[in-house]
A and B are shown apart, each in its own frame.
Chain A
Amino acid sequence: SQQGEEDPQALSIQEGENATMNCSYKTSINNLQWYRQNSGRGLVHLILIRSNEREKHSGRLRVTLDTSKKSSSLLITASRAADTASYFCATAPPPGNTGKLIFGQGTTLQVKP
């Protein structure tokens, strides 16, 4: 079965630095999504990139997708202490309407003030 894998598993940086997280997957996808989970809270949808897109921006977030390598990266620029959270990639396999997301194990990001 398809499974997203993320690296690093944990990342610790200083406020103001950039944070890059990577995600790899195994099978064809319809789109790839990134979610954030703050401690004890629910998953918050950050950004979605479709399989025919290569790069997408949203505020301080930049997502890339390389379908030939079956990988994606999430870049958070100018990080803030409030960005401290766990970040998950999730893939939606084709056909597009199954609704079933496959999550990676996540990257725990700590941003030190």
Chain B
Amino acid sequence: EAGVTQFPSHSVIEKGQTVTLRCDPISGHDNLYWYRRVMGKEIKFLLHFVKESKQDESGMPNNRFLAERTGGTYSTLKVQPAELEDSGVYFCASSPNRGTSNYGYTFGSGTRLTVV
């Protein structure tokens, strides 16, 4: 089966611009998660979708971040306007809906975002 796909793999934008990251989970996986790793720090949870619904968005840093998962398939994460501290690697993961966290998640390769 195809894995979790993220694109772009790299994005360099100027402060104040908008960037949209996309994640295609494994087909049939109801759960989709966004995480990010800011330089030198730990990987932090951003939010969790179950199908098209936001199950937990407690990790979203502020209202410049907007995540959507229309139709319960792929998800987008938009940063508008981007700030320097948003630079980092954004990971997406998916898992089937079967006791969620009792199984390892499949992560994508991540999008490396650089805001200059």
A residues with CB within 8 A of B: 3-4, 30-31, 33, 35, 40-48, 50, 88, 90, 92, 96-106
Contact = CB atoms under 8 A, between A and B. Distances in A.
Contacts of B6: 42
Contacts of B93: 43
Given A88-B43, A103-B42, A42 B100 contact: no
Interface of B: 4, 6, 31, 33, 35, 41-45, 48, 55-56, 58-59, 91, 93, 95, 99-110
A106 B100 contact: no
A102 B56 CA distance: 14
A42 B107 contact: yes
Contacts of A88: 43
A31 B101 contact: yes
B106 A45 contact: yes
Contacts of B42: 3-4, 103-106
Nearest to A104: B42
A102 B45 contact: yes
Which of B42, B58, B59 has the most CB atoms of chain A within a 10 A radius of its CB?
A: B42
20 contacts: A35-B107, A40-B109, A41-B109, A42-B4, A45-B105, A45-B107, A47-B104, A48-B104, A92-B102, A96-B100, A96-B101, A97-B99, A98-B48, A98-B56, A99-B100, A100-B45, A102-B45, A104-B42, A106-B42, A106-B43
